[in-house]
Amino acid sequence: MKDSHGMTPIVKTVTRVSVWLILLYGCYIILHGHLTPGGGFAGGVVIALAFLNVMLAYGKSFTAEWLNIRLLKDIEAASITLFLVLGLLGIAFGNAFLANFLGKGEMFSLFSSGTIPLFNIIIGIKVALSLFLVVWVLADIDSAKGGDL
């Protein structure tokens, strides 16, 4: 099957396997952000690179079918509101903005340290979608055509 979009079949076949491993690694870094080096930002960058891997290997039209770009834009805009809500819950239940009002749990276990993993997840979503959408929008510009964007 000859497809004019994207790269060679070798790259596509490798991408089909590797993109899920990259996504899994990004989720691992985000979820273990309060235990090991890494966190929301680093894991978010890894997840964004997984999406960009698909975009480079398969081309933009396939990626637009695979991912719902409008939904991703909405999630990207809404995630920072979630951050604000979680910070305001710190005022409601704790004593300050961004206060850690949940139970701290056992030290060095995965489900511990209160709201910090939740903030890591929110930041991970925000960073992943922001980075991906920046490159997406830049790749959307038709460089041959002049005029307004």
Footprint on this chain of another protein (rule: CB under 8 A): 35-37, 41, 108, 131, 134, 138, 141-147, 149
CB 30, min distance to another protein, A: 15
Q: What DSSP designation does 42 have?
A: H
Nearer to another protein by C-beta: 12 or 32? Answer: 32
CB 45, min distance to another protein, A: 9
Nearer to another protein by C-beta: 15 or 119? Answer: 119
Nearer to another protein by C-beta: 65 or 140? Answer: 140
CB 29, min distance to another protein, A: 13
Residue 76 to residue 78: CA distance in whole angstroms: 6
Nearer to another protein by C-beta: 70 or 145? Answer: 145
Residue 33 to residue 12: CA distance in whole angstroms: 31
Identify which of 32, 28, 37 has the alpha carbon closest to the alpha carbon of residue 109. Answer: 32
CB 93, min distance to another protein, A: 25
Q: Which residues contact 26 (CB under 8 A, 6 or more apart)?
A: 43, 44, 45, 46, 47, 50, 124, 128
Identify which of 113, 109, 124, 129 has the alpha carbon closest to the alpha carbon of residue 30. Answer: 124
